[in-house]
């Protein structure tokens, strides 16, 4: 047994199933370019739910573990679309997509205002001035109504991915 | 600024590229709605521009109003002013990718 206490992040005041998720517009980064896109525009394209995935900044092991898992589980074929939210810049996201063969686009939000709007922001100890999202997952329908949610309570904490897939309604 | 809806002009650009900023200024002066797609400094990372316009330089615009895809800032500015400015002539059609010293990175 490890002899230390895991850091608690505490409760998050995040949207629950049935709530309407906050609309936002940010540069959406894919493996070729980035352009401003709104969440509502994205979620109304095609069929199926939108899975919004918040992770710590790209380069962190927490971010890597989550995105490796989602890629390996083939989430890109199992929802309408899976989209990340990160404080990493568009340039850093592009590099990550390339280096990790990551098939998911990301909203780049260096000011972390989207995580604040979703109640999942987290001030990093002794990285003065940097706030980022804690790991969090939201399934949204085309009207941005929350269908399922999971938010980390510890630092770090990872979901049970089988349970998470049930919660988010993945195929 | 770009509109959240689907504007007819797509503008491939590089952050802080003077030739791109020249096109930005013209788009704004003419009050045109456009969607910016930002690409990377390295030409080898600009496959999307190559695919769309046949070149790896930016700026490039794709205008769905007229079917025009165009590279090189001087040509783009001339095109925008003659198509949308005061005394605009009939919209040009076809694909024009100019050669020569038109101002691009």
Domain presence at residue A51: yes
- The closest alpha carbon to B15, from B30, B33, B37, B48, belongs to B37
Confidence of residue B64 (pLDDT cuts 50, 70, 90): very high
Domain presence at residue B105: no
For A40, nearest residue in chain B (alpha carbons): B4
- Mean pLDDT score, B39-45: 96
Which residue do the tokens 């390339």 mark? Answer: A98
Domain presence at residue B98: no
For residue A9, the 8-state DSSP code is -
Domain presence at residue B40: yes
Q: How far is CA A151 from the centre of its chain?
A: 10
Domain presence at residue B35: yes
pLDDT per residue over A2-47, tens digit each?
Answer: 677 888 888 889 999 999 999 999 999 999 999 999 999 999 998 9
- Mean pLDDT score, B29-33: 97
What is the rounded distance in angstroms from the CA atom of residue A162 to the CA atom of residue A156? 19
pLDDT at position A58 over 90: yes
pLDDT per residue over A87-118, tens digit each?
Answer: 999 999 999 999 999 999 999 999 999 999 99
pLDDT at position B92 over 60: no
Taking the alpha carbons of A96, A97, A100, A102 in that order, is the dihedral positive or negative?
positive
pTM, 2 dp = 0.90
Confidence of residue B5 (pLDDT cuts 50, 70, 90): low
Domain of B65: which CATH number? 3.40.30.10
Q: How many other C-beta atoms lie within 10 A of the C-beta of residue B70?
A: 24
Domain presence at residue A2: no
Domain of residue B36 covers 9-84
Q: Across chain A, what does the average pLDDT equal?
A: 95
Domain of residue A85 covers 17-165
What is the rounded distance in angstroms from the CA atom of residue A143 to the CA atom of residue B80? 37
Taking the alpha carbons of B14, B18, B23, B25 in that order, is the dihedral positive or negative?
positive
Interaxial angle between packed helices B73-84 and B18-29, expressed in degrees from 0 to 180 and rounded to the nearest 10: 0
Domain presence at residue B90: no
Number of structural domains (chain A) is: 1
User: Which residue in the set B2, B39, B45 is minimally distant from A36, CB to CB?
Assistant: B2
Domain presence at residue B96: no
What is the rounded distance in angstroms from the CA atom of residue A109 to the CA atom of residue A26? 7
Q: Give the CA radius of gyration of chain A.
A: 15
For B44, nearest residue in chain A (alpha carbons): A32
Percent of chain A predicted with pLDDT > 70: 99
Contacts of A25 in chain B (CB under 8 A): 4
Domain presence at residue B91: no
CB A25 within 8 A of CB A17: no
Number of structural domains (chain B) is: 1
Domain presence at residue B92: no
Domain of A53: which CATH number? 3.40.30.10
Domain presence at residue A69: yes
Residue A38, C-beta contacts closer than 8 angstroms, at least 6 positions apart: A23, A24, A25, B4
- A27 — contact with chain B (CB < 8 Å)? yes
What is the rounded distance in angstroms from the CA atom of residue B26 to the CA atom of residue B39? 20
């Amino acid at each position: 047994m490890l002899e230390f206490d895991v850091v608690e992040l505490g409760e998050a005041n995040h949207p629950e199933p049935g709530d309407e998720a906050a609309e936002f517009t940010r540069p959406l980064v894919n493996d070729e370019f980035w352009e401003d896109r709104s969440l509502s525009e994205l979620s109304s394209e095609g069929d199926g739910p939108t899975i919004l995935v918040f992770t710590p900044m790209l380069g962190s092991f927490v971010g890597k573990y989550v995105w490796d898992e989602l890629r390996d589980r083939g989430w890109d074929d199992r929802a309408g679309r899976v989209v990340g939210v990160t404080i990493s810049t568009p340039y850093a996201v592009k590099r990550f997509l390339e280096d990790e063969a990551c098939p998911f686009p990301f909203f780049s939000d260096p000011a972390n205002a989207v995580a604040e709007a979703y109640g999942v922001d987290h001030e990093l100890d002794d990285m003065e001035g940097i706030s980022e999202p804690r790991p969090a997952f939201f399934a949204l329908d085309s009207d941005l109504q929350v269908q399922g949610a999971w938010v980390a309570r510890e630092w770090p904490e990872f979901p049970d991915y089988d349970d998470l897939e049930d919660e988010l309604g993945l195929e | 600024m770009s509109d959240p809806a689907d504007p007819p002009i797509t503008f491939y650009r590089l952050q802080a590229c003077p030739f791109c900023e020249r096109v930005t200024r013209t788009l704004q002066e003419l009050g045109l709605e456009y969607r910016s797609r930002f690409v990377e400094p390295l030409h080898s990372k600009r496959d999307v521009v190559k695919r769309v316009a046949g070149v790896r330089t930016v700026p490039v615009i794709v205008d769905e109003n007229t079917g025009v895809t165009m590279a090189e800032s001087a040509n783009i500015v001339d095109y925008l002013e003659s198509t949308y400015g005061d005394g605009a002539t009939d919209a040009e059609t076809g694909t024009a990718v100019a050669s020569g010293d038109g101002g691009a990175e």
